[in-house]
Amino acid sequence: MHKILTITLNPAVDVRYSIDNFSFGNVNRTKEIEKNAGGKGINVSRIINILGGDVLATGIIGGFTGQLFLKKLNKNFIKNDFLITDYETRTCVAIVAKNIEGITEILEAGDGDFEVSNHFKDKFLNILKDKTIKIICASGSLLKGIDPLLYNYLIEESHKQGIKFILDTSGKTLLSGIRAKPFLIKPNKEELEFVLNKKLETEVDIINAAKDLISRGAENVIVTLGSNGALFITADKIYRGTFPKVIVKNTVGSGDSTVGGFAYALSQDKPLVECFKLGLGCGTTNAMLDSTGTIDLKTLNDILLEIKIEEIRF
């Protein structure tokens, strides 16, 4: 089994408030508070850790919230090596109320600068002295003010050492990152529509859009489609993955769970179609749980028995 490095360049302390009846413009008292180390890459790390993988988490943190972040991460027994700066790590709030459908989120932006970017490049190269790292998962947005092409640098340096790089970001950061030729990207349908600036009405539209991104540099593409499953597109193969109808409790972190499952299977040298299946299983299992970016192994094993993967002739 190969070692996996996860990168979270805009982490957060995630605060989750559970409220019976949320009322706008009034005092609301929560009956339950949950604080965790958050960020897309941290969710990926947590999934790999639960599956039994060898994972190291890195990224950029700072300030009092950065210290709380590390405390929570260590409590989850996730190995880590973060760059510590003077910039305060952001806090993100999720409000779960019985009287409101969905989850209300308040997301702070994180700050940095080009000097922070350069320090992280040095940190990254130092980490890569560990030659057992064969897979890297970089997830989420960039801190405001840092090098907008930082992901490109990280991908290019990984290529030099034969490391497979999974990039899960969005918007302009995704479009620029693709030029560095990541091994895998994982947009959802809405993110794919946004980066290509066009509506994707049919499955054929989605496949063609994914192939467009492959022509621009991405080696493989997973497009997650919510309750409709996911598509996995390579240079010469297309697969459709579907899962049974489940009771959905919380879809936040399902995309990250998909990346975590895929990366874990990849670390065991599984065929790509099996990596896709485990990723889809982890994403589905996460949606069935209240917590974000986590899975239950028994539920996962049950779900995997019902996931169907079929090749599409295109």
The dihedral sign for the CA sequence 262, 267, 273, 277: negative
The alpha carbon of residue 229 and the mean position of all alpha carbons in its chain are separated, in whole angstroms, by 17
Reported as type and span, the H/E element at residue 85 is strand 83-85
C-alpha to C-alpha distance for 89 and 39, rounded to whole angstroms: 11
CB-based contacts of 41: which residues, under 8 Å, 6+ apart? 6, 7, 8, 9, 11, 57, 59, 137, 138, 139, 140, 256
Please count the CA atoms within 13 angstroms of the CA of 213 that sit on its side-chain side.
36
Instruction: Choose, from 54, 256, 269, 290, the residue flagged as catalytic.
Output: 256
256 carries an active-site annotation: yes
CB-based contacts of 256: which residues, under 8 Å, 6+ apart? 40, 41, 43, 44, 47, 139, 168, 286, 293
C-alpha to C-alpha distance for 83 and 302, rounded to whole angstroms: 39
C-alpha to C-alpha distance for 213 and 219, rounded to whole angstroms: 9
Q: Which residues are catalytic?
A: 256
